[in-house]
Amino acid sequence: MQDRLGRTIDYVRISVTDRCNLRCRYCMPEEGVPMLQHEDILRFEEITAFMRVAVGQGIVKVRLTGGEPLNRPGIVNLVRMLLDIPGLKDLSLTTNGTLLPQFAPHLKAAGLKRINIGLPSLDPATYAYLTRLGSLDQALAGLKAAIDTGFSPVKLNVVVLRGVNDDLAPYLDLTRRLPVEVRFIEYMTIGPLGEDHYLVPAAELRRKLEALAALEPAEKPQGNGPAQQYFRIPGAPGTVAIIAPMTEHFCPTCNRLRLVADGHLRLCLFGADEIDIKPALRPTVDEEALRRLLEQAMQQKPECMPDTARDYGRAMGSIGG
Ligand code: SAM
Ligand code: SF4
């Protein structure tokens, strides 16, 4: 599919739940987000019916996210159902990792290959502070489970907050030991903390990395992720990269739509503009109507919003990142 600006849209991020077992300060308020009613949440059959149409229209890549996707009962079944769609080339999952010791083998057996883990600190106290309800030991057990189960690549998402978790050295050390792709992500002010002073711009992150180690360029891994350049310490099994949605936004090459758990297609992470697809799914699936809604999304998808948007309509934890 091409949008009205000629951008190829071939990627859908599906937020399967707004619930989460953590409350990361950069993502959710302490009390969580207002919970959706059970009947408002798309059933797996509905998600799959929509994705079958979307894949028919040119979507090749899907990521499951949340909230915490492993909190959604039966998530392994959804993985199987999506992987059954002919033409879907790539399915991945973003998780906080804490439930991976239990889920990793089942996800692997269902056919999932790629996992991203949100790991905002390698210091136990900072991790507990940032996630409010999490323990670093649990998250590291999840990371180990992902690697031991054979997921590859395993990417780590690190949202960097100035003065909180902006010491990047422990992550560089981790890449010396483990085959992980660490992605330092600029804090997006869409988060509940709001304030801009937490944002560490990509240029500064780059300088910090260069001051810590002599890095060499690494090959860009499979997939068309938002990180442009990957680096590694010579000989290290892991890599580092920077994702800069705020200061070097990638709107001109944006390739994605987001499906929120309550059945709204979100056209841009930063904008409240959404299209409700439930009327095309209930009471029965209307494939023609779904195609029309996708076409509408292509016409309506905004050009670029990060600099101007102030009304996001939802918390990050409900959009799915
Ligand atoms: N619970 C899963 C997790 O934590 O990875 C999936 C959902 S979470 C909303 C998806 C990703 O959004 C996180 O990994 C984190 O990197 C990113 N994220 C959340 N809040 C953010 C913020 N304010 N700025 C930048 N990235 C953010
Ligand atoms: Fe939950 Fe992920 Fe948001 Fe943290 S970043 S609160 S783990 S949804």
Per DSSP, the residues of 74-109 read THHHHHHHHHTSTT--EEEEEE-STTHHHHHHHHHH
Asked if residue 6 is part of any domain, the answer here is: no
Closest atom of ligand 1 to 20 CA is 1
Alpha-carbon dihedral angle through residues 136, 138, 143, 145, given to the nearest 10 degrees: 160
pLDDT of residue 223: 57
Asked if residue 197 is part of any domain, the answer here is: yes
191 — pLDDT class (breaks 50, 70, 90)? low
Pocket test for ligand 1, best of 114, 115, 133, 159 (most atoms within 8 A of CB): 159
Cβ of 159 below 6 Å from ligand 1: yes
Asked if residue 37 is part of any domain, the answer here is: yes
The proportion of the chain whose per-residue pLDDT surpasses 90, expressed as a percent, equals 81
The proportion of the chain whose per-residue pLDDT surpasses 70, expressed as a percent, equals 95
pLDDT of residue 40: 93
Cβ of 317 below 6 Å from ligand 1: yes
pLDDT, tens digit (0-9, with 9 covering 90-100), for 280-303: 999 999 999 999 999 999 999 999
pLDDT, tens digit (0-9, with 9 covering 90-100), for 63-107: 999 999 999 999 999 999 999 999 999 999 999 999 999 999 999
7 — pLDDT class (breaks 50, 70, 90)? very high
Asked if residue 3 is part of any domain, the answer here is: no
**Pair type for strands 239-243 and 114-118:** unpaired
- What gap in Å lies between CA 64 and CA 62, rounded to an integer? 7
Give me the helix-helix angle, 44-56 and 287-300, nearest 10°: 70
Structure tokens at 12: 């859908």
pLDDT of residue 41: 96
- What gap in Å lies between CA 176 and CA 232, rounded to an integer? 9
Assign residue 302 the CATH number of its domain: 3.20.20.70
Give distance in angstroms: CA of 187 to centre of ligand 1.
Answer: 9
pLDDT, tens digit (0-9, with 9 covering 90-100), for 209-253: 999 999 999 987 665 567 678 999 999 999 999 999 889 888 999
Average pLDDT over the chain reads 93
Q: Is the pLDDT of residue 9 over 90?
A: yes
What is the helix (H) or strand (E) element at residue 158, kind and residue range? Answer: strand 154-160
Beta bridge partners of 65: 15
Single-letter amino acid code for the residue at 261: A
272 — pLDDT class (breaks 50, 70, 90)? confident
Q: Which ligand is nearest to the CA of 188?
A: 1
Cβ of 96 below 6 Å from ligand 1: yes
Pocket test for ligand 1, best of 23, 27, 143 (most atoms within 8 A of CB): 27
pLDDT of residue 312: 72
Distance of CA 202 to the CA centre of its chain: 19
Which residues constitute the domain of residue 52?
11-319
**Pair type for strands 216-218 and 230-232:** antiparallel
Q: Is the pLDDT of residue 277 over 90?
A: yes
Q: Whose CA is nearest to atom 10 of ligand 1?
A: 321
Q: Is the pLDDT of residue 34 over 90?
A: no
Asked if residue 64 is part of any domain, the answer here is: yes
Give the chain's domain count.
1
Structure tokens at 204: 């500064």
Q: Whose CA is nearest to atom 8 of ligand 2?
A: 67
pLDDT of residue 46: 98
Pair 274, 314: CB distance under 8 Å: no
- What gap in Å lies between CA 56 and CA 60, rounded to an integer? 9
pLDDT of residue 313: 74
pLDDT, tens digit (0-9, with 9 covering 90-100), for 299-310: 999 998 766 656
Alpha-carbon dihedral angle through residues 291, 319, 107, 149, given to the nearest 10 degrees: 130
What DSSP designation does 134 have?
-
318 — pLDDT class (breaks 50, 70, 90)? confident
Cβ of 187 below 6 Å from ligand 1: yes
pLDDT of residue 192: 63
- Which sign does the torsion angle of CA 115, 118, 122, 127 carry? negative
- What gap in Å lies between CA 270 and CA 254, rounded to an integer? 12
Pair 188, 161: CB distance under 8 Å: no
Pair 252, 39: CB distance under 8 Å: no
Asked if residue 40 is part of any domain, the answer here is: yes
Pair 238, 182: CB distance under 8 Å: yes
Beta bridge partners of 218: 230
Give distance in angstroms: CA of 286 to centre of ligand 1.
Answer: 33
- What gap in Å lies between CA 77 and CA 288, rounded to an integer? 26
For residues 146-175, give the mean pLDDT.
97
Alpha-carbon dihedral angle through residues 275, 301, 222, 190, given to the nearest 10 degrees: -80
Give distance in angstroms: CA of 21 to centre of ligand 2.
Answer: 8
pLDDT of residue 316: 83
- Give the three-class secondary structure for 121: coil
Asked if residue 4 is part of any domain, the answer here is: no
Neighbour tally for 29: CB within 10 Å: 15
Asked if residue 20 is part of any domain, the answer here is: yes
Task: Please report, for the chain, how many H helices and E strands are present, in that order.
Answer: 9, 12
pLDDT of residue 260: 97
